Amino acid sequence: MAQVGIVMGSDSDMAVMSKAADVLEELGISYEMRIISAHREPDLFFEWAKGAEDRGLKVIIAGAGMAAHLPGMCAALFPLPVIGVPMHTTSLGGRDSLYSIVQMPSGIPVATVAINGGKNAALLAAKILAVSDSALLDRLKAVSAKQEAEVKAKDARLQETGYQNYTR
């Protein structure tokens, strides 16, 4: 049974949302992924979001661009955490998406990550789930340790080669 729902309004969001799926897979977290437009398929969207809790979902990651109503509508229908991923847009660089997701009315919270922040959305979902899953918490700590080691290795290389030779 899936613990996390990943939903996007268009397949143009797939490059960003697939990063969320990659992180969830790396951490061993089950998920379902859907393309559902809240505007073009409202009946299907309502059915999916209202049934998410009964399907066992604990967190929804919703990616959307432009008007970006998908995460907010998920939060209105789903009683557990929703994480919004604003998508970069050509017209306003994703600020339109960001503002639409982060500026929710009182009582309908949506956690919001950076524009195109699919990876961070999955890490936040994992941290939410890890509150009651010590094995998952250990896996998250291992990811953090790996990131720390990568940065230390990069700095060691910089110290050894100098900045002039670092990228060559």
Asked if residue 157 and residue 120 are part of one domain, the reply reads no
Domain count along the chain: 2
Q: What is the pLDDT of residues 128-155, one digit of tens each?
A: 999 999 999 999 999 999 999 999 999 9
Tell me which residue has tokens 């950076």. 114
Asked if residue 83 and residue 66 are part of one domain, the reply reads yes
Q: What pLDDT sits at residue 28?
A: 98
Asked if residue 76 and residue 15 are part of one domain, the reply reads yes
Asked if residue 38 and residue 56 are part of one domain, the reply reads yes
Asked if residue 122 and residue 43 are part of one domain, the reply reads yes
Q: For the domain that residue 80 is a member of, what is the CATH number?
A: 3.40.50.1970
Asked if residue 44 and residue 89 are part of one domain, the reply reads yes
Least Cα distance to 66 among 44, 87, 45, 36 occurs for 87
Q: What is the pLDDT of residues 66-125, one digit of tens each?
A: 878 999 999 999 999 999 999 999 989 999 999 999 999 999 999 999 999 999 999 999
Q: What pLDDT sits at residue 68?
A: 85
Close Cβ partners of 137 (under 8 Å, ≥ 6 residues apart):
130
pTM of the model: 0.94
Asked if residue 104 and residue 162 are part of one domain, the reply reads no
- pLDDT band at 168, cuts 50/70/90? confident
Asked if residue 163 and residue 110 are part of one domain, the reply reads no
The Cα-based distances of 85 to 14, 38, 59, 124, 142 in angstroms read 12, 15, 13, 11, 25
Q: What pLDDT sits at residue 2?
A: 98
CB atoms within 10 A of CB 110: 23
Angle 133-72-75 from CA coordinates, rounded to 5°: 40
Asked if residue 88 and residue 37 are part of one domain, the reply reads yes
Q: What pLDDT sits at residue 64?
A: 92
- The span from the CA of 99 to the CA of 158, in Å, is 38
Asked if residue 73 and residue 98 are part of one domain, the reply reads yes
- Domain of residue 138 covers 134-168
Asked if residue 161 and residue 79 are part of one domain, the reply reads no
